[in-house]
Structures are given as structure tokens and as C-alpha cells.
Amino acid sequence: MEKPQRFDSRNTLSWVRSDEAPEALRRWHLDLFTPRGWYTLGSGAALIALAYVLGRHELMALGVGLCALAVASWLIVLRARRTTSLRRALHSPAATVAEPTGITLECADEVRLRETLPDGFGPGPELVGPGSVDYELVFRSRGIHLLGPARQVISDPLGLIRGMVSVGETQPVPVRAQIHPLARFASLGERMLTGDARFSRSTTADYYDVATRDYQQGDSIRQVHWKATARHGKLMVRQENHVATAQALLVLDLTAEHWHTGGADLRVNIPQGQAPELVSSRRFENALSLACSIGQRYAESGYQILFRNVDGSPLVGGDTLQLSEQAARASFEDFHLASAELGPLNGADQHAGKDLIGANLHRELLSLREEPVIMILGELNPDQAAALAALSRTVRHVELYLLAAHPERYTQIHQLMARTGWNIHLLHGNGTLDDARGAQ
């Protein structure tokens, strides 16, 4: 079987865009006239003018005939192109950045077609109908990209008309954020189990056969292991046999001012089909991709993930908790699909001072004291860091990712957050996520 032709938007310099006719001609399809067609039309007009001056009827008839021939060829060709039946099918409901997306273009008529690829790609594949052609697209940016309409190559036997006209409809293609391997963040897998145990809840181990640890602020008095306390001469608590629960919380900061800091952040425009483009930044694109990568890993381990903004609002619907592998996967897939349309938010969604974490999210965090929590944040000031660190007394299992434009300026904040006992990852947000190095 022949391998489908692959088109990659990264290879934008490997092709040369052909010169197009002026917009006024393309609007009325007058660009379809070949040089011979324009000569014929011009000659006819000149003969009509000459016949009018000389009063020669035979010249008038010849001029009208030449003009009628050119116009008739133009009308017949335009009329013929409306009979084309065209079908385009994506092999998957949505595409993912950097992964090939298979597409099939079919036509049942005897025509010659050229596919119109989204902006950033070169000329598309050609199809001589009836038949079909399979090809692959590799997108390098997320969003809603427009595919089509296809361009039909049309001409007449006299060579007066030749060109391409649009046929079919424009098809939007949702492109989800890229998924990256997370091997360097090994701590993500510490509490992940496989098999049926992934849906178990936390249980308390037997009193006489239990691991113990030092008492920490926030531990319940009911957890104190009195025999171990007497033996060690200090408060000791029972170490719960905490297996992976079926619920996790992922917090992604959507506050625009935390992702756009003057010239430090490269502006990125995210296409949204026919709607206005989203204004994003390289750091936010990395953060969203990181959220999808982590979400996929947790979902594959059986977690039902709740996706939240820092104000507590859901990033995607369908937050009903269902302890099943299918529901866990569906929760992530909904968020991954929504990543094609997510962007930093302005206005009322911004928080100032210590209000990085909204009241709704604060209450939800307190209810998930033993559940895995992943936070992916942009800019963080000392006051916000101090307020966030205070949560460590009750919320224990947190993976904090701070994607900063200037990580070297976060030494003080990093030292403060490191004392929480959380896993802290300070990343250079404007680099590539594959090369990111996190400090724990």
C-alpha cells in the first residue's frame, strides 16, 4: 500500500507561493481568462469599436462573435464546476499538534482537483477523479484550522479559459495541544497504580502493623500512634496506606497578565476558524501543553481529573465523578479537545495581590487534602507565593509548575515554596517544553 503524502507546516520555506491575480479579477473569476482569452476578448472589442467608426457591419459581426465566444466559454466553464461532488473525511475527530492527521479526499466526477490546505502549508495534493487521495497533515500550532475549499482545475477546448475555482465547503479542523513525554518528571508516577487498585480509596493500616512518621502540623490527633510516640519520645503518627485515588485536581492559570509580561513573552496568535484569533504567548502554549501531557498520564492511570482555573471555575464541563476507566479517559479527552479553543483571559478573571487562588478553588483544595493536585502557574509575586505556601499545612500532595519568563528572578520564591514539602518545578516558560529542566 502506498504511503500517504505528508504535509508539514514546519516546512513553510520548502515551497514557493504562486503569484495570484488581483483581488478584483479573482472576485469575479476573471482571472480564469488565459492570455489567448484576453486577446480574443480584446480583439472583439477593438473590432466593434472599429466597425462603429467605419460603419462596417461585417466587422461588427466579427467583433461581437469573438466577444461572445470568449464570454460563452467563460460561462460554460463556470457552470460546469458546480456539478462537482466532493467529500472530505478526517480519520480522527480532532488533530493533535506534531502528530500526523490522516485525511481522505474523494470525488465521483471526472475532474481535476487540488486540495487547499490551512495557512502555513504549501500547495495541497492533487486528485484526478473519479477516485480518492489519502494524505496527512502535521500541524505545529493548536486552534481551529480551516481546510478547503478544494480548487477545481477548469479549462475549455479552445484554450481561452484555464484556472482554478473553489468547490465544496470549508471544513474546520480542531487541533489539540501537543502531548509531551514526561520522563524527567518522575515524581508524577509515585502514587499511580495499575489494575483494579487504581480505583481504591485511602485506608488506614492496622494499628499494630503500620509504618510511622513524625507528626506534622495539620495531622489529626486521631492519627497519633501512642506506642511509637512513647518509644521515640516524640509525637509519631500512623502512615496511612494511601493508594491512588480515582480523583485528581489540575489547576491551570488562565489569567492573561500572568502570561503576557511586555517584551519577555513572544506573542502567538491561535486561529479559531472564522472567528477572531486568540492572543496567546509561548509560555501559555507550553503551560497548556504541559497540562494536557500531565492530564493524559493521570487519566491513563485511572484518575478522574477535575480541571480548574485559579478562580475555581471549570475549564471544561462534565465534572461528575465516576469511578471507571472509561469515565477517567473521557474526562481528559474533553479537556484535550477544549484545548483547541482555550486562551488567557482578561478582565474579571484576573486576580491581584494575594488573591491568586479564588475562594471557590480554596474550598475545593481543602476538600482534597489527600488527593493529587497539579498546579500550573505563570507569574507569581512574593505575596501570592506566601499565600499559596500556607495551603501546604492541609494540602499535601501537590505538584507545582511555575513557568516563568525569567526563572533567575525567582530564587526567593523558589526557596519559600521548597519549604512546603511539595514538588516544585521552576521552568523556563519561553523555551521548548521538551528541553525544560525542573527543580524539585
Cβ-contact 141, 270 below 8 angstroms: yes
pLDDT over threshold 60, residue 193: no
> Would residue 195 be called left, alpha or beta, if left means φ above 0 and alpha means ψ between -120 and 50 degrees?
left
Mean pLDDT, rounded, for 290-300 = 91
**Average pLDDT across the chain, whole number:** 81
Cell output for 431? 523555551
Mean pLDDT, rounded, for 72-93 = 82
Residue 436 banded pLDDT, cuts 50, 70, 90: low
Q: Which of 11-25, 72-86, 124-138, 208-222 bottoms out in mean pLDDT, i.e. has the lowest?
A: 11-25
User: Do β-strands 212-214 and 171-176 pair in parallel, antiparallel, or remain unpaired?
Assistant: unpaired
Coil/strand/helix, residue 375: strand
CA distance 360 to 311: 7
Look at 27 and 133; give whichever has higher pLDDT: 133
Mean pLDDT, rounded, for 174-195 = 66
Residue 19 banded pLDDT, cuts 50, 70, 90: low
Q: What pLDDT is recorded for position 24?
A: 72
Run of H or E including 66? helix 57-80
Output the pTM of the full model: 0.76
CA distance 313 to 335: 14
Residue 54 banded pLDDT, cuts 50, 70, 90: confident
pLDDT over threshold 60, residue 237: yes
Instruction: Among 87-101, 154-168, 183-197, name the most confident range.
Output: 87-101
Helix ranges, 307-407 (H): 325-338, 359-366, 382-389
pLDDT over threshold 80, residue 84: no
pLDDT over threshold 50, residue 292: yes
Mean pLDDT, rounded, for 380-392 = 90
pLDDT over threshold 80, residue 222: no
Coil/strand/helix, residue 387: helix
CA distance 135 to 115: 10
User: Do β-strands 150-155 and 143-147 pair in parallel, antiparallel, or remain unpaired?
Assistant: unpaired
CA distance 395 to 393: 6
pLDDT in tens, 242-288: 444 578 899 999 998 899 877 778 889 999 999 999 999 999 999 99
CA distance 299 to 319: 14
Phi and psi dihedrals of 176, rounded to 5? -80, 165
pLDDT in tens, 316-348: 865 555 555 666 788 899 999 999 999 988 654
Angle between helices 35-54 and 57-80 (to 10 degrees): 150
Residue 12 banded pLDDT, cuts 50, 70, 90: low
Q: What pLDDT is recorded for position 439?
A: 37
Instruction: Provide the β-strand partners of residue 58.
Output: none
Cβ-contact 305, 192 below 8 angstroms: no
CA distance 427 to 243: 29
